[in-house]
Amino acid sequence: MRSAEQLIAPFHLPVGQRVVLAVSGGVDSTVLMNLLSVLHPHRLQLTVATFDHRLRPTSAAEQAQVVQAAEALKLPVKTGAWAVADHPAHGLEAAARKARYAFLRQVAKRSGQAF
């Protein structure tokens, strides 16, 4: 198995690079968070960002699980949520993506990282 250092090597990230890591709570992003956590804070300055689209009854609990996991790994975590009142009647998927990206841009800007 390759190390986290070996996996990020192709990206040529400088030591101390600030990285906003979007974590949905799914297997892929959760594994990535765990893998990269060994690089924080000496190699990468990670900030976990998790966004609740409020599209499922379980979404708040899923976001809480991400927060708990990030905190257990001693990673800073930022949360956001999409107001139900802002959910459109049509084009929900595109609107959800737009809301999520706006949140991620905000987190990146506040952490001093370009998006």
- Alpha helices by DSSP H, listed for the chain, are 4-8, 27-37, 59-72, 92-110
Which burial class, exposed, middle or buried, applies to 44 when counting CB atoms under 10 A from its CB (0-12, 13-18, 19+)?
buried
What is the pLDDT, as a whole number, of residue 114? 62
In a domain, 30, yes or no: yes
In a domain, 72, yes or no: yes
What is the pLDDT, as a whole number, of residue 28? 97
CA-CA distance, 107 to 56, in Å (whole number)? 23
In a domain, 79, yes or no: yes
Question: Is beta strand 77-81 parallel, antiparallel or unpaired with respect to 17-22?
Answer: unpaired
In a domain, 115, yes or no: no
In a domain, 76, yes or no: yes
What is the pLDDT, as a whole number, of residue 95? 97
pLDDT at residue 55 above 80? yes
Number of domains in the chain: 1
Which structural domain, as residue segments, surrounds residue 60? 4-110
In a domain, 97, yes or no: yes
In a domain, 50, yes or no: yes
* pTM for the model: 0.92
Q: Give the confidence band of 115 by pLDDT, cuts at 50, 70, 90.
A: low
Whether omega before 41 lies within 30 degrees of 0, making that bond cis, reads yes
- Show the tokens assigned to 86: 């802002």
In a domain, 44, yes or no: yes
User: What is the domain-level CATH number for residue 95?
Assistant: 3.40.50.620
Whether 54 contacts 96, CB under 8 Å:
no
